Structure formats: structure tokens, C-alpha cells
Structure 1
Amino acid sequence: MTTMLTPETLLRGYAAGIFPMSEGRDDPEIFWVDPRERGVMPLDGFHISRSLGKHIAKEPFQIRINTAFDAVVEGCADRDETWINGPIATLYSALHRAGYAHALEVWEDKTLVGGVYGVTLGAAFFGESMFSWRTNASKIALAYLVHRLRVGGFTLFDTQFVTPHLMSLGAVEIPRAMYHAQLARALGQEADFTRAPEMPPVQDVIQRSTQTS
């Protein structure tokens, strides 16, 4: 399948509700995944702890958009077990150059310390992966990402699967049929990932997030 998969077929896959994975970094093959239960982050249900809200308010990092897309993908793949192989990284790089894939980056001075990347179609954002080399960097990335998606007019934030980390921030699982219905609505709408400024006022980022103890 690797030789047949192109950026165009990748976008068609997302529009059909499926996404690609590989068995590992050194496995050249790519397969499609269509989970029975789909992970999504409700954009009005994102929540953070009070301590994290205070940490975000201190603005410990700089947020940038699409200045180091390939480095974010590399950071996401830099772990013992990864589904990101060479062909997948190449495909997302091509989607980025075509304007369909975006990265939100977390910087500490001149060092990239975290980030998240994904694909956009209509008003859907398909979150692919994230990484963190500093405490709370990935949670801060998600807070800024959710704000960006809200401002940009997105209605669906697809996380593919849920993890305890994502569930602690509000992610939920929904049945495949419900996901496909939400996807169909989102694909018929327009949104703009670049509408929000790179570093919006920090209070704008945290004020709409439910803060828990």
C-alpha cells in the first residue's frame, strides 16, 4: 500500500473517516484504521486543572504555528514505539506544503520542546500526534490548539483514540456512526486554522476552559 498512497488518497481517507498507521518506525507498510469507538475532544468540553491554568498564565513557553512542521513530526516519532514511519512522515510533509497539515509548536527560547500536528478538512481537525520534552508542554499545546480551533470556526477535533492524558482534558469516545455524522457536518463547513494569532492573549486561551481542582 505504501507505493500507492499519495497525499490525495490520504485526504480522501480522512474524508471517509479512516486514517493511516504503520506497525513501527522500521516497517514500510501503511494500513488504514477505522475504530469502532472514536476519540474526539469536544471543543466546548476542554478542561484543565487550576494549577495548569496558573502555569499557562505565566506564559512559560512561546507558541508558534507552522515554523518547524517536520521537526514536530520527528519529535512525535522520537519514542520507543511509534506508528510514524518514513513514508508517513513524507506524506504529512507533503500535506503541510499543500496547506492541509499544520503544527502548533511549543518553544523554550530557541529550543522546540513540544508540539502537536494534524490535518484540516472543512471544519474538521484530525489530530495526529503530539510530544512533550518539558513538563506540561503537551497540555499547554492542546490548550492553545483548542483556542485556535474555536477561533477558526472548527466544529470537530478528532483525536482518533483516547488516552488517560486526553481524557483528563475532556476527550471522550463516541460510536463510529456518531463520529461519521459529525464528520459529514464538519466537512460541509468552512474553517481557518490560521485565523488566530500565534500568541493570543493568555486569558483568551484559559477563560473558556473549565478549570477543575
Structure 2
Amino acid sequence: MRRIVTQCFSVVSTLLLVAGCFSSDGGVTASASPAADRWICPGVRLSDVSSVVGESPDVDPIGVQGISFFSCIIDAADEGHANASVRINWGKIGDNDSSLGAFFKGGRSLFDGDGVSFGIDGVEQGEGARTDNEGRGETAAWRCDDEKSRGIVVDVYLNEEHAKDRDPAVDAVNLVRTVRPWACGEQPVPNYTPTVTPSPGY
């Protein structure tokens, strides 16, 4: 009897393990890696950017003193993602424009007809616009339309190989969606420790 119970338990465990590898719609789902879920900047997980820059990028979180602006600069270090990069920036729109160039106002503004507009499902406040370069690099921006006049700018640059089957504009817009809740002040910035990490904007 003990042998039968043991065998049954083994079969059930195996079935549960196999079932756990598939999503409800039949697709295969990868188990989340603890390393991939680590925060590499305040508000930015490695898993958010690893498809562009690989699993071991060089990261430089920058809080600019004296202005409400934060930047997370991420450069690929893996050979398979060589030359790829991501830059995620948020803060007050005036500080964003003075630090990066006028993506919100002026001649380079993405919101005055030169950009492609986009929205975020379930979000009524704010508006987005992106470049349409049809190349390896694209920029997406989001205007929070809040009382502090905050905004987000994300730059994505793919390496030559990945640019064949990825769209950097899609990657940039997805990253805007990811950071928007805390970049626009709706939620606390994840992994932000004032005594350890640079200020993420405000």
C-alpha cells in the first residue's frame, strides 16, 4: 500500500509540474527568474528592459540635483545585445525638456503634430506621443497632465540584429506604460531608498 501511495504522489507531482509550465490558453510560460525581477534603478526592473539590453547591462541611475528630474541609463554589456541601450527619464516637463531636448514644447515637440499619439488603456488623464523614425532608435513621451506638470521620456535603441524583428517604438511605449504610475505620482516609486539611491524626481 505504501508503494502505491508513493507512486501515486509521484505521478500527481509530475502532472502538477507539467501543468505549471503552460498557461491557460495553451501557451508555454517561463518561470520568473529572481535575477530578472531585481530592481536596477528606482522604478525599473531588469525584466522590464532585458529583451533590449540583455541580462547583465551597465546601469547608471542619475538624480539631477536642484531640479525635479530622474534618469536611468541602461547600456547593453552582453555580446548578443551589443550597442543596445535604454534611457528612462521622468520629472517636471520643464526640467525634462531642459535636460533632454524639447520633446514636450518647442520645435522638436512630439505633441505638436510631429509625433504619433498613443494612449494607455484605463488611463484617462494624460497623453502620449512617440517618434516614427522606422529605424533602430525611437522615443516615447507621456504628459501626465497633473498638478506638478510631470512627464516621462523613454529612448530605446536596438542592436542591429534585434532590430530585424523588434520595433523600438513598441518597446518605448511599453516602458512608458510600466513606469507611468509612479513617474506621474500616483504610486510610490518602487525600490527608492533616499539614503541609498538617487532621487527619482521629486
Query: Which bin holds the TM-score, normalised by the shorter protein?
Result: under 0.3
Task: Name the TM-score, length of structure 2 as normaliser.
Answer: 0.27
Query: Quick one: higher RCO (CA 8 Å, sep 6+), 1 or 2?
Result: 1
Greater share of residues in helix: 1
Task: Name the TM-score, length of structure 1 as normaliser.
Answer: 0.26
